[in-house]
Copies of this chain bind each other. A is one copy, B any other.
Amino acid sequence: MENILFDYVARYINLSDEEKQIIRELSLTKYCKKGTCVLEAGKKSQDNYFVLKGCLRCYYLIDGEEKTTEFYTELDVLSPPCVKDGTYSDYYISCVEDTVLLVSNPQIEQESFARFPRFEMLCRVISENVAAKTKKELDNFKTSSPEQRYLRLLQERPDLFQRIPQHQLASYLGITPQSLSRLRGRLVKK
């Protein structure tokens, strides 16, 4: 499974066989069954995730209702804010499908930087990319209508429409399942 990570990393740096071996020996891979909750709101955690296979969903529980804010699929990096600031998580992370993750933490990362300074560069570039992507998503969400969000999602992440239950997709788009259904109807007629 680690080869998926190595292919991803190869976009930025070419790992030596020694570096690959060390990553393998860290045994970061974790297999989670569909429905597994990998992080609960109100709990602390030090775990950062890299999705090798499957899908994670982040959601808040607000007035007894689940509000889905993000889906993380293959090659996505998920670093919960509670890891960074040492506070309690505001949200839940659960597996929409059987999921294979690489689970890291700041201590492992720090040790790897000490041994392989290039990893620090790698993590800087990935963090910059995650920050830029998140900012774009925030701006998109602020400046678009539900219909525009739906069309963008269909274009950029069409797989989600096969993988995610309708009510979770609707929640993610910031609308009710009924509105999503009507929206689809309108677009089919166009």
Which A residues lie at the B interface, using CB under 8 A? 58, 60, 62, 67, 69-70, 79, 81, 84-85, 90-91, 113, 117, 120-121, 123-124, 127-139, 141-143, 174
A167 to chain B, nearest CB (A): 16
Known: A79-B132, A138-B141. 12 other contacts (CB 8 A): A67-B143, A69-B142, A69-B143, A81-B136, A84-B129, A84-B132, A85-B132, A127-B128, A127-B131, A131-B134, A134-B138, A141-B141
**B-side contacts of A128, CB under 8 Å:** 79, 84, 123, 127
Copies in the complex: 2
| A79 / chain B contacts, CB cutoff of 8 Å | 128, 131-132
Tell me if A69 and B138 are in contact (CB < 8 A). Answer: yes
In the bound complex, residues from chain B placing their C-beta under 8 Å from that of A129 are 84
Bound state CA distance, A133 and B180, in angstroms? 29
Contacts of A123 in B (CB 8 A): 124, 128
Quote the shortest CB–CB distance from A80 to chain B (angstroms).
Answer: 8
- Distance A137 CA – B142 CA, assembled complex (angstroms): 11
Q: In the complex, what distance in Å separates the CA atom of A136 from the CA atom of B60?
A: 12
Residue of B nearest to A90 (CB): B139
